Amino acid sequence: MKSEGWIDVQIRTAVDAAELLGMLADPVIQGGWEEQGVVHLYWPKPQWSLETLSRMSTILQRLDPGASPERDIRVEELPDQDWNRQWAQSVRPIRIGRRIVIRPSWEPMALQAEDIEIVLDPKQAFGTGHHATTQLLLEWLEDLIHGGEFVLDVGAGSGILAMVALRLGAASALGVECDPVAVDCARDYATENGFGDHLEFRCGTLEEIARQGELRPDLVLANLDRQTLLLLCDELAQYMSHGARLLLSGILLDQEQEIVEAFSKVGAMLSQRREQDGWVALELLVVESCEGVSR
Interval 239-250 mean pLDDT:
92
Q: Which of 63, 89, 115 finishes a domain?
A: 89
Residue 49 sits in the same domain as residue 147 = no
Task: Say if residue 291's pLDDT is above 70.
Answer: no
pTM summary value: 0.76
The predicted structure's pLDDT at residue 81? 67
DSSP state of 204: S
Interval 61-83 mean pLDDT:
84
Alpha carbons 264 and 287: distance in angstroms, whole number: 9
In this prediction, what percent of the chain has a pLDDT beyond 90?
48
Name the band, by pLDDT with cuts 50, 70 and 90, for residue 167: very high
| Least confident residue range of 1-5, 130-134, 194-198 | 1-5
How many structural domains compose the chain?
A: 2
Q: Which of 62, 89, 116 finishes a domain?
A: 89
Task: Say if residue 1's pLDDT is above 60.
Answer: no
Alpha carbons 184 and 157: distance in angstroms, whole number: 10
Q: Is residue 142 part of a domain?
A: yes
Interval 17-21 mean pLDDT:
69
Residue 43 sits in the same domain as residue 146 = no
* Cβ-Cβ contacts under 8 Å for 213 (sequence gap 6 or more): none
Name the band, by pLDDT with cuts 50, 70 and 90, for residue 212: low
Q: Is residue 39 part of a domain?
A: yes
Name the band, by pLDDT with cuts 50, 70 and 90, for residue 27: low
Domain with 19 in it: what CATH number?
3.30.70.260
Task: Say if residue 123's pLDDT is above 80.
Answer: no
Task: Say if residue 131's pLDDT is above 80.
Answer: no
Name the band, by pLDDT with cuts 50, 70 and 90, for residue 295: very low
Q: Is residue 219 part of a domain?
A: yes
Instruction: Answer yes or no: are the C-beta atoms of 47 and 5 closer than 8 Å.
Output: no
The predicted structure's pLDDT at residue 115? 95
* Number of Cβ within a 10 Å radius of residue 269: 16
Q: Which of 64, 89, 114 finishes a domain?
A: 89
Domain with 165 in it: what CATH number?
3.40.50.150
186-216 exposure pattern, b = at least 16 Cβ within 10 A, e = fewer: bbbbbeebebeeebbbebeebeebbeeeebe
What are the backbone angles phi and psi of residue 9, rounded to the nearest 5°? -100, 120
| pLDDT tens-place string over residues 172-211 | 999 999 878 778 889 999 999 999 999 999 999 999 998 7
The predicted structure's pLDDT at residue 242? 86
* Cβ-Cβ contacts under 8 Å for 201 (sequence gap 6 or more): 156, 159, 162, 174, 175, 176, 177, 183, 186, 187, 190
The predicted structure's pLDDT at residue 93? 84
Task: Say if residue 267's pLDDT is above 70.
Answer: yes
Tell me the residue range of the domain where 30 lies. Answer: 6-89
DSSP state of 111: -
The predicted structure's pLDDT at residue 277? 81
For the chain, how big is the Rg over CA atoms in Å?
19
Residue 182 sits in the same domain as residue 268 = yes
Residue 78 sits in the same domain as residue 146 = no
